[in-house]
Amino acid sequence: MYEQLYHPNASQGGSDGFPLQQYTKAIQKFRQQLVNPRDSDYDCLLVTCLLFVCLEMLRSSHASVLDHIQGGMQILLRQQDEKTNQLKRDTVDQELRQSFRRLSIQLPLFGRFLIPFHPQTETALSPEQILIFDNIAQARDSMTILMNRGLGLIRPIGIDRILPSEEVNQQQIHEQRILAQAFYNWNVAFTTMMQKPAKSVGILDSRAPLALQISYFVSITWILSCLSRDESVYDQHFASFEASVDAAEKILALSAQTANPSTPEIFSLDAEVVPAIYLTAMRCREPNIRRRAIAVLSNYPTKEGLWGQGERQYQIAKLILEIEERHYQHLPVEERIPRDSHRVYEALIFPTKGTYLDPCPVTIMMKPHGPQGPWATRVEFVELPKLK
């Protein structure tokens, strides 16, 4: 179907023909508008692009989703260069911009290039500045900007952090310190805001601040660990991992209280819980906290964008747990903290033609001879459950 959308002459199934034709026409019109948009077209283009993101997410077409997110961010960047950027933005426009900024966080997590936000926006979050959040929307927007900046440090390093030829430079250390302080400042402002009555700061759903807490604890842990050459660095952050799992478990409990059996599955464009708890399940080697994180992935009720309900992440996290604890089965669970040589440094999955296979091949990368030693790589397979 993906090929048909971009190649209208391809064969089409009988019942899908009309919707497919309309969708193809919409994409063609959208591309024409992108060539030379008028000032008044920008919001319309963003709404259209966001609609395409939703449709492709529901179809689990990862490549198309990422393409449309990139397209939306390019529209935003172009809009920022126009004189209309000086005009006061209305609420709808601000929501559109923030939606795409949150979505853009997913790009580097799925192998695409990070699109940095506008420099003028970033300067508003200097480490020396005392932050004050009047409402949770401001806190969320600030966290989005920090996560974008954080990924700007983390993703270029990638697995190169453990290659013998790669040395951490002073600029990276400086950026790490600046970012860590910015996250600490965010947490101080967030904690102060949370002391106010919920309604006065725009908290209509008590799960919202919990999701931000998860983002904070996982992000600060990742920032503080990203320059280390070995996996044992994460053992310094068990408290942050536990705090993120505590918040996720509270979200599960609140979701269960509001669940309605007659209501369809909940779908969210934003991925605020699954990727963070997945990272916790992969990097936290405290056995009990790790098992709690995996349990959250197995029971999470909301489909979060490209991550779904975490089905694939749950299966991969279980696999990595089994691999890392294989040599420790004789010990009580709470003592099964693997040595660095037994840890999985990376578990990589790659889509085929924009989608993931089932069974899904997972490339396991380990350093059994230490961080300076060669890679030990193999491929394992995980199967997804047919029903959640």
38-66 burial: b if 16+ Cβ within 10 Å, else e: eeeebbebbebbbebbebbbeeebbbbbb
Spatial distance between the Cα atoms of 160 and 371, rounded to a whole number of angstroms? 11
Domain count, the chain: 2
pLDDT at 9: 39
Domain hosting residue 365, numbered range: 105-382
Residue 372 lies in a domain: yes
> Are 20 and 65 in a shared domain?
yes
pLDDT at 320: 98
> Are 181 and 236 in a shared domain?
yes
> Are 92 and 140 in a shared domain?
no
pLDDT at 38: 55
Of the residues 104, 124, 149, which one is the last residue of a structural domain? 104
pLDDT at 33: 54
Strands (E), 176-311: 266-268, 302-304
Residue 387 lies in a domain: no
> Are 100 and 202 in a shared domain?
no
Spatial distance between the Cα atoms of 144 and 189, rounded to a whole number of angstroms? 15
356: helix, coil or strand?
coil
Of the residues 104, 131, 154, which one is the last residue of a structural domain? 104
> Are 99 and 115 in a shared domain?
no
**pLDDT under 70: residue ranges of the chain:** 1-41, 81-92, 118-129, 158-168, 261-265, 353-355, 386-388
> Are 258 and 302 in a shared domain?
yes
> Are 196 and 338 in a shared domain?
yes
> Are 373 and 283 in a shared domain?
yes
- Cα-atom radius of gyration of the chain, to the nearest Å? 22
pLDDT at 387: 46
Give 267's strand partners. Answer: 303
CA triplet 237, 238, 243: central angle to 5 degrees? 100
Check: CB of residue 320 under 8 Å from CB of residue 272.
no
C-alpha dihedral (321, 327, 330, 336), degrees to nearest 10: -50
- φ and ψ of 129, to 5 deg: -80, 140
The secondary structure of 220-236, three-state, reads: HHHHHHCCCCCHHHHHH
Residue 167 lies in a domain: yes
> Are 123 and 51 in a shared domain?
no
CA triplet 331, 231, 327: central angle to 5 degrees? 25
Spatial distance between the Cα atoms of 102 and 269, rounded to a whole number of angstroms? 9
> Are 114 and 99 in a shared domain?
no
Is beta strand 266-268 parallel, antiparallel or unpaired with respect to 360-366?
Answer: unpaired
Of the residues 104, 130, 165, which one is the last residue of a structural domain? 104
> Are 93 and 116 in a shared domain?
no
